[in-house]
Every structure is written in structure tokens, then in C-alpha cells.
Amino acid sequence: MKTIRTLQILINLLFYVLLGIVIITITYYLILFIYPEILPDILQMSRMAFSFFDWKFFIGPVLTSLNFILFVYGVYLLKKIIPSFKRADFYGSLVVKNLRKSGQLFIFIGLSTILIKVIFFFVVQNSIGFIGKGMQSFWYISTSLISSIDITMISLIVVGLFLLLFSDSFKNAQLLKQENDLTI
């Protein structure tokens, strides 16, 4: 029971911190585009970045922001199953469904973030041209592509796979429990 309580505290803390970040960021950008004059000069500097770059450079940040919002939703789904765990209702359909959705979201976020980094590398590469020729260019491209595979995203994919595994395990246990209840 202590483990479930600790998990609940940590998931709630994570969820509310992430939600606060989303709200602050949305508020900042709304103010930046609607009433920029009320912001201090130091906070208006990010507005200049929007005027200098090509639209292709905004795809990465926009998709990363969408992935962040999906991550917050995945944590919210995990937050919703804690009361079921506290009641020892591990086999409920809510638990199975939310674990599956969270797992799928985390896998999607991990894979899409890696894909965004690879695509962003090629967009930047096409904008500045290839550096060097021959082997030097090959090493530059290979190391850049390898660096786009982030250990954090690999970890998120692994967590997503574990959540899918737990979801399937709880679903199988739910079926066995139903069969056991029918035979009595």
C-alpha cells in the first residue's frame, strides 16, 4: 500500500508540474502574439526568432510541443488508474484500457521524437549544404543521425512497451478471473 501511495504522489506531482508548464507556455505565447508590449524586452526576444527563420524550422518545435501535450495526457491516463490500484481492482477494464493507451502514447512519442530529430537534421543539412566531401561528409552525417537517437526516447519506448505488457497481463488475468468466477 505504501508503494501505491508513493506512486500516486509522484504521478500527481509530475502531472501538475507538466500541466503548469503547458499553461505557462500557452499563456506566454498568447501574450507574445496578442499584447507583446506588456512583456519585458528580454521576453520579447523570442518574437524576433519568428521573423528570421523559414517555416521549415517551426515544424520541429510545433511537433515537439504536440508530443509534450500527448505526454501530459499519457501521465493523466496513468493518474486515473491509481484509485483502481488503491481498491485492489487490478483487473478492471479502466486499468487495462488506460495502461494500453498510455503505452501506445509513450511509444508514439518516443518514435516520433526520434523521427522529428532525423527530419530536422535533413532540413538543416539541406539549408546549410553538406559540410566537406567524401568520408568527412559521411562521418558528419552518420554521427548526426546517431545523435538524434536519444536515450531518453529509447527509455520512453521501453516504458511504453512495459505498459502494453502490463495491460495485456491484466487483461489475461481479468479473463482468468471471470472464468474462475463462472466455475464456482
Segment 156-180, tens digit of pLDDT: 999 999 999 999 998 998 888 888 8
List the one residue out of 157, 171, 45 whose CA is nearest residue 105: 157
Mean pLDDT of all residues in 119-142: 64
Any domain includes 27? no
Any domain includes 104? yes
**Domain carrying residue 167:** 55-183
pTM: 0.78
Q: Rounded mean pLDDT of the chain?
A: 82
Quick one: DSSP state of residue 132? S
The reported pLDDT for the residue numbered 70 is 94
Any domain includes 101? yes
Task: Tell me how many domains the chain contains.
Answer: 1
Name the more confident of 127 and 179.
Answer: 179
Any domain includes 131? yes
The reported pLDDT for the residue numbered 78 is 94
Of 97-106, 126-135, 136-145, the one with minimum mean pLDDT is 126-135
Residue 152 CA to residue 106 CA, distance in Å, equals 11
Furthest-apart CA atoms within the chain: distance in Å:
75
SS3 99: helix
User: For the segment 44-90, what is each residue's pLDDT rounded down to a tens digit?
Assistant: 666 655 555 555 566 667 788 899 999 999 999 999 999 988 888 87
Any domain includes 20? no
Identity of the amino acid at 21: I
The reported pLDDT for the residue numbered 167 is 93
Any domain includes 124? yes
The reported pLDDT for the residue numbered 137 is 66
DSSP for 26-64, please give it: HHHHHHHHH-GGGS-HHHHHHHHHHHHS-THHHHHHHHH
Any domain includes 172? yes
Q: State the residue for C-alpha cell 559540410.
A: 131
Any domain includes 34? no
Q: State the residue for C-alpha cell 522529428.
A: 116
Could you tell me how far CA 119 lies from the centroid of its own chain? Answer: 18
Could you tell me how far CA 74 lies from the centroid of its own chain? Answer: 8
